[in-house]
Amino acid sequence: MSALRARVVHAVTLGFAGASLLLTSVAQAAPVVVRGFEAETMTNARTVPSASASAGAAVTLRGRGLTQRVTLLASRKVRVTLKRGRSRSARMRLRIDGRRPFIITPRSRSWHTSTIKVSLGAGRHTIRLRSVRLPPGSSARAAPRVDRVAFLPVDPARRVLLGTALRSQNPAANPAFAITRDPRYAATFLKNFDSLTPENELKMEHIEPSPGRFTFAYADSLVAFATAHGKAVRGHALVITSSQLSRWLTKPRVPWTRNSLLAVMRRYITTVMNRYRGTIRAWDVVNEAFWDNGSYRQNIWYDVIGRDWIEQAFRIARAVDPRATLVYNDIASETSGAQQDAIYAMAKDFRNRGVPLDAIGLQNHTGLGGYADQLVLERTLARFASLGLGTEITEMDIVTQSGTGSEARKASDQAIGYRNAATACWDIAGCTSLTTWGVSDAVTWVGGDQAPLLFDADFRPKPAFNAVQAALQRTRP
């Protein structure tokens, strides 16, 4: 088993593979260890079917509750997936190895997680769960339910990069370039982020404004800036479907044929990847190829080349730079649905046929009232990890105008949305980075009044930034 494969197994078991025992091995030769348990496996407890639970069943905590013996890696968090029964007063009590118990308050009647910090050495432990404060004589429906208990191991090497989109001072490639001259813009990036994604500078309309004429000045300036400060660069994006394609490509004087358009694609990918070989190590090779109903997004590549246009792009990219991480990136596919299913089906087919693909990028542009739950995101990340793929959150922002209440309330709601994504990425192995689509509310594609980012318009950290720092276990600043 390769190291990557081992990490992926970890992700799947921590995710929702539906296995009856969460078994994994963490390194090639490491012993198999239990990482947690599903309700289905709990020995002395009555399980009840629950379609919404992670493997189809849950346990109602009644009477003496349940006891489970597990062999663990050294762990620093226990995560219980639970929900309230009819009783509002009932609590869940978790006791490990006879130590002082934790009392968990179920927060709602739908599944959610409660995470408790612990310090457990590697080895065997006894976990006891029961209800407390259940009104006497109450029925089974009153009691809290538990779906799964997972243990998050100490992984000293775990690191998730925090990235951001950045703009150069190119007025053409940058709708709000003046702000980029504010020294706080670069300073905030340098102090708080590990990686940058050129927001527009690597898109075709700027790179190849006329056929065969490549202009790299502004992309070069961003890449040089990153390199000079030891920051990573994500390449965004080689083959795009949006309005930022060059006009000569979308409105050709002589109609394209499959072969002539494939030649344009090959020349483009080859020229751009070669220029940044060894510097840009991860590329969004194809960006936004599906509609939200799961059908192929209509665009020039699809229209002329046909449905294998995506595969062609990935094959070319691998041949040009075999060491680069090749990413498929799309919008609005964080939650389950037809679009995510289409991407999953494509990725699975690529894996089966050996079409090169290394990771899935989830843009995660979202808003208050609409951002994904942590569990939903974990399920998505684990789903792609189960194919042996890495994952990244590539363009996150949370617009706030859809929210309600005071500004402070919106800011803390936004922090929860960011925390959900950061925690999910941290917890599911194979998720390597979380990138926000801009540094501060002063420079954002959705408009500053939406306040979608981690720093405010005066470059002060918002609650969302602190939430991300904590979730990614970062100590700076």
Judged by CB under 6 A, the residue of 75, 188, 241, 287 near ligand XIL is 287
Residue numbers 315-334 binding ligand XIL by CB under 6 A? 331
Residue 143 interacts with ligand XIL (CB under 6 A)? no
Dump the DSSP string for 87-124. -SS-EEEEEETTSPPEEE----SS-EEEEEEEEE-SEE
* C-alpha–C-alpha distance, residues 125 and 96, integer Å: 7
Using DSSP's 3-state secondary structure scheme, residue 76 falls into strand
Using DSSP's 3-state secondary structure scheme, residue 281 falls into strand
* C-alpha–C-alpha distance, residues 397 and 414, integer Å: 9
Biggest CA pair distance of the chain = 81
- Long-range contacts, 248-251 (Cβ 8 Å, 24+): 248/210, 248/211, 249/204, 249/300, 250/300
Residue 395 interacts with ligand XIL (CB under 6 A)? yes
Residue 436 interacts with ligand XIL (CB under 6 A)? no
- Give the per-residue contact string, 159-178, with ligand XIL (x = CB under 6 A; - = no): ----------------x---
Least distance to ligand XIL, CB of residue 170, Å? 12
Residue 200 interacts with ligand XIL (CB under 6 A)? yes
* C-alpha–C-alpha distance, residues 409 and 326, integer Å: 39
Residue 392 interacts with ligand XIL (CB under 6 A)? no
* C-alpha–C-alpha distance, residues 310 and 293, integer Å: 18
Residue 219 interacts with ligand XIL (CB under 6 A)? no
* C-alpha–C-alpha distance, residues 410 and 401, integer Å: 9
Q: Which of residues 113 and 329 has its CB atom nearest to ligand XIL in the complex? A: 329
Residue numbers 83-122 binding ligand XIL by CB under 6 A? none
Size of the site for ligand XIL (CB under 6 A): 8
Least distance to ligand XIL, CB of residue 201, Å? 10
Cis amide leading into 209 (omega within 30) = no
Residue 204 interacts with ligand XIL (CB under 6 A)? no
Position with the least CB separation from ligand XIL? 445
Catalytic residue status for 311: no
Q: Which of residues 147 and 395 has its CB atom nearest to ligand XIL in the complex? A: 395
Using DSSP's 3-state secondary structure scheme, residue 79 falls into strand
Q: Which of 288, 334, 378, 392 is catalytic?
A: 288
Residue in this structure with the two tokens 């062999």, named with its chain if needed: 71
Residue 248 interacts with ligand XIL (CB under 6 A)? no
Which of these, 380, 427, 411, lies nearest to 78 by C-alpha position?
Answer: 427
> What's the angle, vertex CA 197, arms to CA 193 and CA 199, rounded to 5?
120
Least distance to ligand XIL, CB of residue 242, Å? 7
Residue 201 interacts with ligand XIL (CB under 6 A)? no
Least distance to ligand XIL, CB of residue 175, Å? 6
- Give the per-residue contact string, 20-59, with ligand XIL (x = CB under 6 A; - = no): ----------------------------------------
Residue 445 interacts with ligand XIL (CB under 6 A)? yes
Residue in this structure with the two tokens 């081992």, named with its chain if needed: 6
Residue 339 interacts with ligand XIL (CB under 6 A)? no
Catalytic residue status for 288: yes
* C-alpha–C-alpha distance, residues 349 and 347, integer Å: 5
Using DSSP's 3-state secondary structure scheme, residue 334 falls into coil
Least distance to ligand XIL, CB of residue 200, Å? 5
Judged by CB under 6 A, the residue of 339, 363, 423, 436 near ligand XIL is 363
Least distance to ligand XIL, CB of residue 395, Å? 6
* C-alpha–C-alpha distance, residues 7 and 14, integer Å: 11
Residue 370 interacts with ligand XIL (CB under 6 A)? no
Which of these, 385, 474, 473, lies nearest to 117 by C-alpha position?
Answer: 473
Residue 60 interacts with ligand XIL (CB under 6 A)? no
Q: Which of residues 199 and 208 has its CB atom nearest to ligand XIL in the complex? A: 199
Least distance to ligand XIL, CB of residue 445, Å? 3
Residue 205 interacts with ligand XIL (CB under 6 A)? no
Q: Which of residues 199 and 427 has its CB atom nearest to ligand XIL in the complex? A: 199
Which of these, 414, 409, 406, lies nearest to 451 by C-alpha position?
Answer: 414
Phi, psi of 282 (to 5 degrees): -135, 130
Least distance to ligand XIL, CB of residue 193, Å? 16
Residue in this structure with the two tokens 């072969």, named with its chain if needed: 259
What length does the chain have?
477
Residue 398 interacts with ligand XIL (CB under 6 A)? no
* C-alpha–C-alpha distance, residues 267 and 306, integer Å: 19
Residue 199 interacts with ligand XIL (CB under 6 A)? yes
Q: Which of residues 168 and 469 has its CB atom nearest to ligand XIL in the complex? A: 168
The interaxial angle of helices 374-385 and 338-353, nearest 10 deg, is 20
Least distance to ligand XIL, CB of residue 179, Å? 12
- The residues binding ligand XIL (CB under 6 A) are 175, 199-200, 287, 331, 363, 395, 445
| Residues marked as catalytic | 288, 395
